[in-house]
């Protein structure tokens, strides 16, 4: 089937494929740098990821230097239609210096900004509150020791300054997302004290005013992590309240809730209280396992909600998965394209008909529409999107991914 035939098939349902393609081309996905090296980073001081998160696998080709990571990213972006962003963690500094986390400055990240300028992409940023001796207790901003809290507050403040400078240099607001691993393996006796310390630390860290056109603060909640099974200080309720009161973005990570919770359902609920949301699109399997996202029901549900609730213009879409058992570049490409495919499907949905059926309580019609609509030729519209944006698809994509992986497999 040709794109023209597919276009006519969608038109019969009252759907304009050209409008969907045009809108999709404007949605940037923030691709996370940490899929490229298994969350190791480039600090000269520390190594393992820690913090209750874990990349497993030993597939050949892990990026060992900023140059290798940038080469891998460049390849991945060439396989993904459209203009996107890079989500950089502070542990990915690119410098011969060895600053501790409370000493980092913009210059330690400047090569990334120069590269982003050359690539025409935006950057997002994250303080790194794990993989450090001062995070070994799984307590950072909520640590009972004021000296440790101050160390991490200083780190967080510096990342906000760095993010603001990045945003200024690139002319695009840099989202600085705060995730701390803080929690307890066994049942704590004073949750309130820990949460009050986290709140006070965040208040101090976020006190210096920043220009929203340059940087935006986000806070990321979590249910539990390895080693903090009994209590996570920065839980969903904690951060939802905090974000609403303080005017930060709330980051919803799809792996940070109970497996039976529907994260898509949360979007419209939180969007009524928060002007902007950050997503970490991920695929939890039994726990926050950070599998590469599939074009599955969970991702489709997120995309449908983003479009149906008209949230695309106030949601920052970031990815968060890391699988070291497969080609890391293929993981980025497959995951990012799946997010785009999900958005395309949502943009191609016959929303007027669906809403009319729901509003008239004709749930039979709503179900018939959603199920018959699944048979429309989405693949042709996606192939057209890739073609227009000069990006391979199908078998050509597979051979490109294979060839690149073969070229990096020699890395030790």
Ligand X SMILES: C[C@H](O)[C@H](O)[C@@H](O)C(=O)CO
Annotated catalytic residues are 179, 220, 222, 253, 256, 280, 288, 290, 320
The dihedral of CA 48, 53, 57, 61: what is its sign? Answer: negative
Interface residue with ligand X, options 253, 298, 323, 384 (CB under 6 A): 253
- Tell me if 112 contacts ligand X by CB under 6 A: no
Calpha distance 252→180 (Å, rounded)? 14
State the binding partner of 37 from ligand X, Mn ion, none, CB within 5 to 8 A by kind.
none
Provide the 10 A C-beta neighbour count for residue 172: 18
Task: Kindly write out the interface string for residues 305-344 of this chain, putting x where it contacts ligand X by CB under 6 A and - elsewhere.
Answer: ---------------x------------------------
Report the partner that residue 72 touches, choosing among ligand X, Mn ion, none (CB closer than 5 to 8 A by kind).
none
- CA diameter of the chain: 66
Structure tokens at 139: 């307590």
> Shortest Cβ contact with ligand X: which residue?
179
Residue 53 interface partner, choices ligand X, Mn ion, none, CB cut-off 5-8 Å depending on type: ligand X
- Closest distance to ligand X from the beta carbon of 149 (Å): 19
Q: 279 with 315: CB under 8 angstroms?
A: yes
Tokens of 363: 């749930």
Binding status of residue 222 toward ligand X by CB under 6 A: yes
Give the total of residues touching ligand X (CB under 6 A): 12
Q: Residue 42 binds which entry of ligand X, Mn ion, none, with Cβ cut-offs from 5 to 8 Å by kind?
A: none
Query: Is there binding between residue 38 and ligand X (CB under 6 A)?
Result: no
101 scored as a contact of ligand X (CB under 6 A)? no
User: CA distances (Å), 38 to each of 23, 33, 43, 50, 226, in order?
Assistant: 33, 9, 14, 11, 17
Question: Binding marks (x or -) toward ligand X, 153..192, rule CB under 6 A?
Answer: --------------------------x-------------
* Binding residues vs ligand X (CB under 6 A): 34, 39, 53, 89, 126, 179, 220, 222, 253, 280, 288, 320
């Amino acid at each position: 089937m040709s794109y023209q035939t597919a276009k006519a098939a969608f038109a019969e349902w009252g759907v304009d494929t050209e409008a969907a393609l045009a809108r999709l081309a404007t949605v940037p996905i923030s691709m996370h740098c940490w899929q490229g090296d298994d969350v190791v980073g480039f600090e000269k001081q520390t190594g393992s990821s820690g913090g209750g998160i874990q990349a497993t696998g030993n597939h050949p080709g892990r990026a060992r230097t900023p140059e290798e990571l940038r080469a891998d990213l460049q390849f991945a972006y060439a396989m993904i239609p459209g203009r996107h962003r890079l989500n950089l963690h502070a542990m990915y500094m690119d410098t011969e210096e060895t600053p501790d986390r409370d000493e980092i400055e913009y210059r330690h990240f400047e090569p990334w900004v120069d590269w982003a300028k050359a690539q025409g992409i935006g950057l997002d940023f994250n303080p790194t509150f794990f993989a450090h001796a001062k995070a070994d207790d799984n307590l950072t901003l909520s640590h009972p020791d004021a000296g440790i809290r101050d160390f991490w507050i200083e780190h967080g403040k510096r990342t906000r300054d760095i993010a603001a400078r990045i945003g200024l240099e690139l002319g695009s607001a840099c989202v600085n997302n705060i995730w701390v691993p803080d929690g307890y393996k066994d049942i704590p006796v004073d949750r309130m004290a820990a949460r009050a310390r986290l709140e006070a630390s965040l208040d101090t860290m976020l006190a210096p005013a920043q220009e929203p056109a340059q940087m935006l603060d986000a806070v990321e909640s979590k249910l539990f992590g390895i080693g903090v099974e009994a209590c996570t200080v920065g839980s969903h309720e904690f951060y939802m309240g905090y974000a609403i009161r303080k005017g930060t973005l709330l980051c919803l990570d799809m792996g940070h809730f109970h497996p039976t919770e529907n994260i898509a359902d949360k979007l419209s609920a939180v969007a009524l209280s928060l002007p902007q949301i950050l997503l970490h699109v991920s695929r939890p399997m039994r726990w926050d396992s950070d599998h590469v996202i599939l074009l599955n029901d969970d991702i489709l549900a997120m995309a449908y909600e983003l479009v149906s609730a008209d949230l695309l213009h106030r949601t920052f879409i970031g990815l968060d998965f890391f699988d070291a058992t497969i080609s890391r570049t293929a993981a980025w490409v497959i995951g990012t394209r799946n997010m785009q495919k999900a958005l395309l499907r949502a943009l191609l949905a016959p929303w007027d008909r669906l809403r009319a059926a729901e509003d008239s309580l004709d749930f039979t019609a709503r179900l018939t529409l959603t199920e018959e609509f699944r048979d429309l030729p989405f693949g042709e519209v996606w192939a057209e999107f890739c073609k227009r944006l000069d990006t391979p698809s199908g078998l050509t994509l597979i051979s490109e991914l294979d060839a690149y992986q073969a070229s990096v497999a020699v890395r030790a």
